[in-house]
Every structure is written in structure tokens, then in C-alpha cells.
Amino acid sequence: MKPFDYARAASPPEAVAAVAGNPAAAFLAGGTNLVDHMKLGIAAPEQLVDISHLPLDKIEGTDDGGLRLGATVPNSDLAAHPLVRQRYPVLSQALLSGASGQLRNAATTGGNLLQRTRCIYFQDVTTPCNKRNPGSGCSALEGYTRYHAILGASMDCVAVHPSDMAVAMAALNARVEILGPSGDRSVGLHSFHRLPQDQPQRDTVLEHGELITAVVLPPLPEGTRSAYRKVRDRASYAFALVSVAAVLRLEEPTETDDGDGPASPPKIAEVRLALGGVAHKPWRATFAEEALRGQPATEEKFRRAIDAELQHAVPLPDNAFKVTMVRNTVVSVLRELCGVDQSSGGAGTPASGGEDRP
């Protein structure tokens, strides 16, 4: 690690000023990603501005019935918070499926959003990587791509964003509150992370010196259900191969049954689907959402809807399986959330994000 200066900021504006005034400065909160990167030579800031002691660690209700999550709230506290568990189970489940307890105790809301890809080439400074070293080339493109993107990638970068939390937040239409040198702004979570295009070195729309102060979750209408499901190579403590965050509301069909035929399935009044492990950002499956909205909740509709999304997939040699895996996992989660019996294959599996599923 290159020597650097370390200072604790006394207030958010002071922190912003300190980082904004030095192109080689960086914010430090839980450190779970940045400190590793400094050890590996991926990051070499000359000054660290520790924000972990700032009063950004509250979880508060908003006037409209949503929640404001402070940027330095530890992931473990956020997952365990009663209001989060009660109103936004998808978020709690996503958090608990990420990393491990020891890391969640240190990792923060803001830091989790800003964690960088686990692409193994990005993390090894001896290989070319456009994200780490713009213009040097993408080693993954023709390399080992099991964990790489199938949606929204470019020839310059096929990395995926590793966060589980952010996937849930994308499905919750969260907004990111940002303090910068010239004032506040707020960005929708979905627009916060970027696609790689020809600038994979930029993960998000944050400018240097801008500080995440909170993430705001809008309220969910009564009757909304949500779930997070993560598929990974190990039962616990592994990044997602694919993950699915689903938030939806059903309404009973308007025409009443005559009592003889089979009951009509409920209709999907509102649905938001976000996918993890498939793109450079949490991927809102908007084509699938559109295909589902107002439709009866049947497995057939689920399948067609996700296929509408996946027709845009461009898998790589090692990860073609992700197309099937996304399709099956989305159908599985929707089936569970909508209480639909499976037509074939798996039964209604619990769409829980707990770490200890059998």
C-alpha cells in the first residue's frame, strides 16, 4: 500500500470539501472494499477521509411513509431494522444474502452501492482491464466469464455489479441523496449506476467529491409483496450467479366466478423486477415488467414476460447458462409471490433470501 494521509471529517460538508479539493482523495466508510483494493494495488488514494463517524447512521421515516437510510448505517443494522423487515422484506433478504455477517457489520449503505465489480481481471493488476486502466483492453471478454454480464455490456467491459442490496433497492425505486461541492442532488437508484459503454472506469454517475448521504425508499402501496432470491455457487458467502428482486401487487380479477369453472388467477396490478449478477448495474427488467402489468398471474405469463427481457441477452461462452437460470429463477420467484402452483418442474420454493436455505 502506498503511504497516505488519514483524517476524520467533522461534518459532511467538510468531508466533501476535503475530497473535492484533492483529486487523489477518497471517502472511507466501512473500508471492506476500498482497503482490499488498496492492498491489491487497484486503488492508491493519497488521502482518506473517514466518514464513518458522521451522523449519517440513522434510519428514519419520511413524511410520505417511506424510509431514509443513512449512508453509514451498517448493512447488518439495516437488514435487522424492524421497519425494513416489515415494509421492505426484499431489502432485508438481499442484505442478508450478501457477503457475511462479519463484513455486513462493517459495510455501509453508501459503500455497498459503491462497491466495485468482483471481475477477477479487474482485481488482478497484472492483466489488462479497461475499468482499472482505461484503454488497456478487456481481459474478460475472451477469458473466464462465468460471473460476467449477459445484458447491457459493451466490448470494453463485461463486468457485473456485485451488490445484492442495490438490486433490491432498484426494485424499490429507491433514490440516492448526494451532497456535492455545489449542493445537494438526488438520483434514482436505477440511474445511479452506469452501463459500461466506452467508459467502464465510471461505475456510477457520482462526480469526484460527491458524497452519498442517504438512500430514500418510497412507500409501497398496501398489499405489495416483495422477495429476493439469489442463486450462487455456494450455499452462503458467494456472489450471485443471478439474483432476482421482485416487488408486486396483485388484484383479484374484476369478473366474479360463477363458481363452476376453475377460479381465474389474480391480476398483476403493479410489478417491478430487478436482476443481479447479469449486468454492470442492477438491471431493471422493464420489458418483463411491461409484459406482466395488468396480466393474469400465470406461469405462462411469467415465462413469456422474462423471455421478452432475455431476448436482449448477449451471453458469453462461459455464461450462456445464465439466460436459463434467470428465466427459471424469475419464474420461481413470481410463482412463489403470486401463490401459483408450478406447472412442471420445481414446486413453490420459498423465495427467501436467507443464508440458510436447504
Partner 1 sequence: MRVQQPAATGLDLERVDGRAKVLGLAPYAYEHPAENPTYLYPVQSTIARGRITAIDTAAAETMDGVVAVLTHLNAPRLADAADKELAVLQSDEVGFRGQFVAAVVADSPEAAREAAARVRVQYHQEPHHAALRADHEDLYKPEQINAGLETDTQAGDPDAALASAAVVVDRTYTTPAEHNNPMEPHTTVAQWEGDRLLVFDSTQAVHNARKTLAPLFDVEVEQIRVVAPHVGGGFGSKGLPHAHVVLTALAAKVTGGRPVKYALTRQQMFFLAGYRTPTIQRLQLGASPDGRISVLTHDVVEQTSAIKEFAEQTAGISRMMYSADHRRTTHRLASLDVPVPSWMRAPGECPGSFGLEVAMDELAEACGIDPIELRVRNEPAIDPETGKPFASRHLLACLREGARRFGWERRNAQPGTVLVDGWRTGIGVAASTYPARRQPANTARIRFTADGFYEVQIGAVDLGTGAWTALTQIAAEALECGPEQVRLQIGDTDLPVATVAGGSSGTASWGSAIIGAAQMFRKEHGGFPSAGDTSEGDGERNPAGKNYALHSFGAQFAEVQVHADTGEIRVSRMLGVYSAGRIINPRTARSQFLGGMTMGIGMALHEQSVMDERFGMIVNHDFADYHVPSNADIRQLEAFWLEEVDEHAGPLGARGIGEIGIVGAAAAVANAAYNATGIRVRDLPLTADKFLT
Partner 2 sequence: MQISMSVNGNEVTRDIEPRVLLVHFIREELGLTGTHWGCDTSNCGTCVVLMDGQPVKSCTVLAAMADGHEIRTVEGLASNGALDPVQQGFMEEHGLQCGFCTPGMMLTARALLDKNPHPDDGEIRQAISGQICRCTGYATIVRSVQWAANHPVGSAATGDAADPSEAEEVTA
How far apart are CB 349 and partner 1 at their closest, in Å? 4
Q: Which residue has the cell 409471490?
A: 337
> What, of partner 1, partner 2, none, does residue 32 touch, CB below 5 to 8 Å by kind?
partner 2
> What, of partner 2, partner 1, none, does residue 199 touch, CB below 5 to 8 Å by kind?
none
Nearer to partner 2, 4 or 144 (CB): 4
- Contact between 341 and partner 1 (CB under 8 A)? no
CA distance 271 to 290: 8
Closest of 247, 231, 259 to residue 329, by C-alpha: 231
Under 8 Å between Cβ of 9 and 51: yes
- Contact between 121 and partner 1 (CB under 8 A)? yes
Under 8 Å between Cβ of 284 and 251: no
Residues 136-139: contacts with CB within 8 Å, 24+ apart? 138/200
The contact mask relative to partner 2 for 22-41 (x = CB under 8 A, - = no) is ------x--xx--xx-xxx-
Number of shown-chain residues binding partner 1 (CB under 8 A): 42
- Contact between 136 and partner 1 (CB under 8 A)? no
Choose the binding region for partner 2 from 3-11, 126-134, 157-165, 327-335 (rule: CB under 8 A): 3-11
How far apart are CB 108 and partner 2 at their closest, in Å? 12
Looking at 12, 31, 41, 296, which residue binds partner 1 (CB under 8 A)?
41
Looking at 62, 100, 191, 343, which residue binds partner 2 (CB under 8 A)?
100
> What, of partner 2, partner 1, none, does residue 186 touch, CB below 5 to 8 Å by kind?
none
Nearer to partner 1, 28 or 217 (CB): 28
Nearer to partner 2, 123 or 154 (CB): 123
How far apart are CB 210 and partner 2 at their closest, in Å? 22
The contact mask relative to partner 1 for 137-176 (x = CB under 8 A, - = no) is --x--xxx--------------------------------
Which residues sit at the interface with partner 2, rule CB under 8 A?
1-6, 28, 31-32, 35-36, 38-40, 48, 50, 52, 74, 76, 99-103, 105-106, 236-237, 354-356
